[in-house]
Amino acid sequence: MVNLIAVGIGGAIGAIARYLMGRAVHQWVPGGFPYGTFTVNVIGCLAFGLIVGLAESRLEISPIGRTFLLVGVLGGFTTFSSFSFESYDLIRSGQLVSAVVNVIGQVALGFVALVAGILLGRAS
């Protein structure tokens, strides 16, 4: 139950931060390219990596703290950071083929699923 509360509160914080960051970026850099999402994903990956790196080297983070920060806050901010870390973790554990399948599969199938969903939604 504590983990669910940590994820929920962290997720709310991350989602609000994502909204504000994306909005701010689009005010600074207008145009057709999704600069807000791009910025959020890169910052989310950097933050995720920084937290994991600190936790592995010199900063003790409790399991609930990791859940709050990584799953909650950064999960609400961007799931791309989790996707990137999981791909890195597969490489780190020697599962290169799985990492490649994960990266290509999620990007390609995610895009195909999005288009399929749009088409299905329009057909209804």
- Residue 101 placed within a domain: no
What DSSP assignment string belongs to 52-116?
A: HHHHHHT----HHHHIIIIIIIHHHH-THHHHHHHHHHHHHTT-HHHHHHHHHHHHHHHHHHHHH
- Residue 98 placed within a domain: no
Domain count, the chain: 1
Residue 19 Rama label (left phi>0; alpha psi -120 to 50; beta): alpha
- Residue 85 placed within a domain: no
- Residue 120 placed within a domain: no
- For residue 47, give the nearest of 3, 78, 16, 13 by alpha carbon: 78
pLDDT tens track for 40-89: 999 999 999 999 999 888 889 999 999 999 999 999 999 888 889 899 99
- Residue 70 placed within a domain: yes
Collect contacts of 85-91 with beta carbons under 8 A, ≥24 apart.
85/45, 85/48, 85/49, 85/52
- Residue 93 placed within a domain: no
Give the per-residue pLDDT at 17: 97
pTM, to two decimals: 0.79
The answer to whether the beta carbons of residues 74 and 110 sit under 8 Å apart is no
pLDDT tens track for 84-103: 989 999 999 999 999 999 99
- For residue 44, give the nearest of 87, 9, 79 by alpha carbon: 79
The CA distance from 5 to 63, in Å, is 13
pLDDT tens track for 5-36: 999 999 999 999 999 999 999 899 977 788 99
- Residue 13 placed within a domain: yes
* 25: containing domain: 2-78
